[in-house]
């Protein structure tokens, strides 16, 4: 199964399960201290393994580094943003 992610209009990243890239990313994360399940999850994500490595070298724990660089499917709604009905949400609710 291919995973395709458009980065810009001109750049597309394609990750193939079992590819050399996924294998390297998984092995790299295990060498940095991730268990096999977390390493596989990171390897199959759009997270930059080098960013995780830099955070670890700066003293950041692995779980926090993963939280920081983990790709987000949907950006969080801005506080007070209009809802689907068009009304602003009340933060006090």
Helix (H, G, I), strand (E, B) or coil at 71: coil
- Phi first, then psi, for residue 13 (nearest 5°) are -100, 130
Residues 6 or more apart whose CB falls under 8 angstroms from that of 32 comprise 52, 53, 56, 62
Taking the model in full, what pTM does it have? 0.61
**Nearest of 49, 52, 50 to residue 63 by alpha carbon:** 52
Q: Return the domain boundaries, the chain.
A: 2-69
> Residue 10 has which token pair?
């001109």
Per-residue pLDDT tens digits for 5-62? 544 556 655 666 777 889 999 999 999 999 999 999 999 898 999 999 999 999 999 9
């Amino acid at each position: 199964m291919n995973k395709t992610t458009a980065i810009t209009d001109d750049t597309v990243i394609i990750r193939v399960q079992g590819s050399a890239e996924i294998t390297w990313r998984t092995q790299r994360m295990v060498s940095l201290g991730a268990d096999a399940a977390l390493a596989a999850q990171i390897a199959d994500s759009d997270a930059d393994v080098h960013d995780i490595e830099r955070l670890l070298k700066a003293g950041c724990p692995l779980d926090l580094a993963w939280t920081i660089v983990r790709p987000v499917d949907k950006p969080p709604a801005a506080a007070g943003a209009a809802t689907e009905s068009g009304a602003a949400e009340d933060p006090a609710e």
